[in-house]
Every structure is written in C-alpha cells, then in structure tokens.
Amino acid sequence: GQQLNQSPQSMFIQEGEDVSMNCTSSSIFNTWLWYKQDPGEGPVLLIALYKAGELTSNGRLTAQFGITRKDSFLNISASIPSDVGIYFCAGQETSGSRLTFGEGTQLTVNP
Amino acid sequence: GAVVSQHPSWVICKSGTSVKIECRSLDFQATTMFWYRQFPKQSLMLMATSNEGSKATYEQGVEKDKFLINHASLTLSTLTVTSAHPEDSSFYICSAPAGGGPFYGYTFGSGTRLTVV
C-alpha cells in the first residue's frame, strides 16, 4: 500500500524560529493536506493543496505541493508557543478517496 | 465553516459492554464519513468508510462484527464498539469531506477517548 514518510519526527525550537517539515510518498497523490492536532483533539486542517507546484499560505504557514506529486512541505515562520502540537501531512489519490497520513511531526516551541 | 461534531468526547466502559460513538455533520451533508483509530504517539489509522444508505467498507484487519458502523442519514454516522476489551481502548476520530465535497479537505471530529476497564 501507499506509504507517507514524514520528517522530522520531532522538533524542539525556540520561539521566533522558522520550522520546516516535509512528506514524501512512494506514489502520486492528487491532493496534499496538512493538519495540526492538539492533545485530545481531532486534527484541524491547516492548508489544502490541489495542484502540482502549488504554493499556498495561511498566515505564518506556507505549504507546497511538489512538482512530482510525491512530496509536500510545510513551513511555519516566526514560531510562537501555540504552534506546539503534532503536524500531519495527508495525501489523497483521487477526489473522495481515503486519506493516507504521515506519521506526524511533534513540534515543541520553547518560549 | 464545515463542522463535524463527535460525541461523547470520552467514555469509560466495562469489558464486555458496547459503546456507541456518534459523528454528525452540522452544517453540511456527508454521504461518506471515515472512522479512524489513533493510539498514543501514533498516526491515524483508517478503520472503515461509512457510506450513507449502504454497508460500510472496512479496512483489512478490522473486524466488522466488532466495530459496527451505521450511516442512516446524510448527517449522522455511528460507530459501535461491541463486546469491548481493554485492547480496544484508543482515541476514535471521525471525518467527513468538508462542505460535502472533496475539494475542501476533510474535517475531523474532536475525537472520542475510549477506555475499557
């Protein structure tokens, strides 16, 4: 089956620093999604990407859909303490199909 | 925006009993909903796809007789964990295509923490 490799698994940074995480896939996806999950909560959609090469921003977050359709990255600029959480990438082969999730990146921001 | 409401947020039950978890799309209709299970420090694992008006589709290794799914209306899907055992303790999360269509990402419920004692 499909596999999504997400890295890094965890990050410890100082407030104000920029963060980058990425996902690579063994197969092509037509949609890439980035979610954030706080403890005891469901994931919340941050950014959705629907086109190869697409670069999309949401406030301090920027994500790109790789040209090969097999990768995506998420950048967070000027991190703040509330950015703490687990970030998941997710890929979707075709519209309406299931999501395949990466293993998550645990982000810790030290004030 | 699209909201998925999940209830209860947590439940403790005795071994051998059954527990029902509800997932509702509040401001949109969802012909499809997804049920996930998440163990501590792990990613989300898809258990089954719930289809309105028809049988659910289960992932390999998920016991359909143990995890009963009913999608009786366009806004409600339920997951019933039957004859629960301690190993069923986990975080269960439902999801639906936001806005009812596939182009807005998938919206997740807030999850249900199940503890079987």
From chain A, pick out residues whose CB is under 8 angstroms from the CB of B93: 42-43
Banded pLDDT at A74 (limits 50, 70, 90):
very high
**Kind of pairing, strands A4-7 and A19-25?**
antiparallel
Average pLDDT, integer, range B6-29: 96
A/B interface, count of CB pairs below 8 Å: 53
Whether residue A95 is predicted with pLDDT greater than 80 in this model: the reply is no
| Of residues B44, B46, B97, nearest to A96 (C-beta) | B97
What does the pLDDT read at residue B99? 57
Any chain B CB within 8 A of the CB of A3? no
How far out from the chain centre does Cα A32 lie?
8
**Tens-place pLDDT, residues B64-108:** 999 999 998 999 999 999 999 999 999 999 999 875 444 567 899
**Mean pLDDT, all residues of chain A:** 93
Does A104 contact B43 at a Cβ distance shorter than 8 Å?
yes
Confidence of residue B111 (pLDDT cuts 50, 70, 90): very high
Rounded Cα gap, residues A62 and A73, in angstroms? 8
* Best residue of B35, B60, B106 to probe chain A, by most A CBs closer than 10 Å: B106
At A87 the pLDDT is 98
DSSP state of B51: E
Under an 8 A CB cutoff, do B43 and A88 touch?
A: yes
- Indicate if the pLDDT at residue B40 is higher than 70: yes
Say which of A31, A33, A42 has its CB closest to residue B93.
A42
CB B66 within 8 A of CB B48: no
B interface mutation test: which of A23, A35, A45 has the most B CBs within 10 A?
Answer: A45
What was the pLDDT predicted at B2? 82
**Mean per-residue pLDDT for A35-43?**
95
According to DSSP, the residues that pair with A24 across neighbouring strands are A5, A71
What b/e readout covers A49-80, taking b as 16+ CB neighbours within 10 angstroms?
bbebebebeeeebbbbbbeebbbbbbebeebe
